[in-house]
Chains A and B, each alone.
Chain A
Amino acid sequence: MNGQGFTVTGVSKTYGGAGEVRALDGIDLTVGEGEFVVLLGRSGCGKSTLLEIMAGLQRPTTGTVRLGGREITEPDERIGVVFQDPSLYPWRTVGRNVELGLELAGLPKGRRRAVAQEHLELVGLPDAGNKYPRQLSGGMRQRVGIARALATRPDVLLMDEPFGAVDHLTRLQLQHDLLRLWAEDTRTVVFVTHDVAEAIVLADRIVLLTPGPGRIARTWDVPRPRPRTLGDPGLTALREEIYAQLEDTGTWEKEGQPR
């Protein structure tokens, strides 16, 4: 399937209320069809805000987002969203969670069952359909979140720190599986993370956001073939550069250590 490209033009976001928060300021970004872009930055720099604006879940204060030429002002059937906490509905079985988007779109029961099962198999959980989310591990739940987003066959996938809440080894596995899915069926992906290594392993292009208000500090192309290992000398240089930039722009997180 072909993806569609995003054009983000002059997007700013100020959260109202007593203490106004300027979350984003003047974001310009294009994401090409089929491109895998990673938004990198420490927590609070506006990554989620930008992603939700691109998903049509929030309106920017100024600026526009276009997908394939059409302006995004509300959630769009071409876009699938994967949330950080996969936010599965605990009262539904795993299978019926995956069906959710199809059900809301009015697909008949038999059809959406089949599609849901197909996508559970795609993410490596062929036998999980009748279980409840609480019976799955964190990594498995996140796979279900991905299956749910893919089941409606979106052209574009927006992922907000999807692997942030799982242990390190599971995260490596999930990254690997995501790249496999992406290679089988290339579509546009915008992936948010605060993990430099994750960004390097996944991205065609890394976009670094800096906080207060959120701005794009720099972008890097990652021209190395996948699968990538962090030991790759070409990537070591990139990693040094990203950390140098992080230090430079004062966006260092105390607990974050270079790996």
Chain B
Amino acid sequence: MPTSRTDAPAARRRRAGLVLGQVALLAGVLALCEALVRGNVVSSLYLPAPTDVLDEVVLLLSGDNGFYGNLAVTLQEFLTGYLLAVAAGILFGLFLALVPLAEAFFRPFLAALMAVPKVTVIPLLTLWFGLGLGHKVIIVFLFCFFPIVYNTIAGVKQTSADHLKVARSFRASRFQVITKVVLPSAVPTIFAALRVEAAAALVGAIFGEMVASKAGLGNGLTEATSLYDTPRAFAFIILITLVSVASVTVIDQLEKRVFLKWRPRQTRLR
């Protein structure tokens, strides 16, 4: 909702003030870190000087230490596992939602599997699948499959009875009902899971790499930490965060421009 014309300058001034304050806080904290390290109050082993971290980021981005190879490995694990989980999760969720007997049958198993903290099985997965791509893909898959299944079921159940009645009055086939009514009705709920699980999938890939791997961003991070190269570890954290933000942004844009174009702009509550 647009703010009314009369108070627009006031609102803009308030926003400018807010941003200024935020920048000041950030600059202050960074300057404090820099001063603490440079003044040898805190050892650079524990806390790197922000300028050193920046140097490392630039170094990594210039391709030092095979950064782009690591990035490619992580992205491949992440994308393969995530896309498999999305496809399988939506299909399986749809199947369960549309076949009540199947849902009744699988529900306890799903609930039990969902309850297992996935990180606990990573060492076993290493034992079974080794250090390579398959290992990470399975971790990523396990991290995000179950929530996608659950949200798909929940989304399908949101299909309005009136919308179904309209389709029936036009003699829609069961397949048409699914593709033209049920799935579109479930899209908002499914997307909510896709968004959260994109971040979780990256966590899965990185964590898998940190536990057992020969390459990848998580591998680089573990290596830097074990060498007490704190600035480089921080640089990895920053770059991994950027990858995470980028992937969620892609999902958001997909949602906004393609799948949920019909939704009203966010309404303001106050």
Contacts and interface: CB of A to CB of B under 8 A. Distances in A.
B262 interface: yes
B162 A55 contact: no
* B172, B181, B262, B264 pick with most chain A CB within 10 angstroms: B262
Interface stretch (B81-89, B163-171, B210-218, B245-253): B163-171
A89 B181 contact: yes
B132 interface: no
Contacts of B168: 57, 75
Contacts of B154: none
Contacts of B180: 100, 103-104
A152 B170 contact: yes
Interface in A66-125: 74-77, 79-81, 83, 85, 87, 89-93, 100-101, 103-105
B187 interface: yes
B184 A91 contact: yes
Please report whether the interface of chain B is mostly helix, strand, loop or mixed according to DSSP: helix
B187 A91 contact: yes
B176 to A, nearest CB: 6
B171 A57 contact: no
Please report whether the interface of chain A is mostly helix, strand, loop or mixed according to DSSP: loop
A87 B163 contact: yes
Interface residues of A, number: 26
Interface in A189-223: none
Interface in B171-192: 171-173, 176, 180-181, 184, 187
Nearest to B167: A104
A89 B170 contact: no
B160 interface: yes
Given A57-B165, A75-B168, A87-B162, 8 more contacts: A57-B169, A87-B166, A89-B163, A89-B184, A92-B184, A100-B167, A105-B170, A105-B171
13 contacts: A55-B169, A57-B169, A74-B171, A75-B171, A81-B166, A81-B169, A91-B187, A91-B260, A91-B262, A92-B184, A100-B166, A105-B171, A134-B264
Interface of B: 160, 162-163, 165-173, 176, 180-181, 184, 187, 260, 262, 264
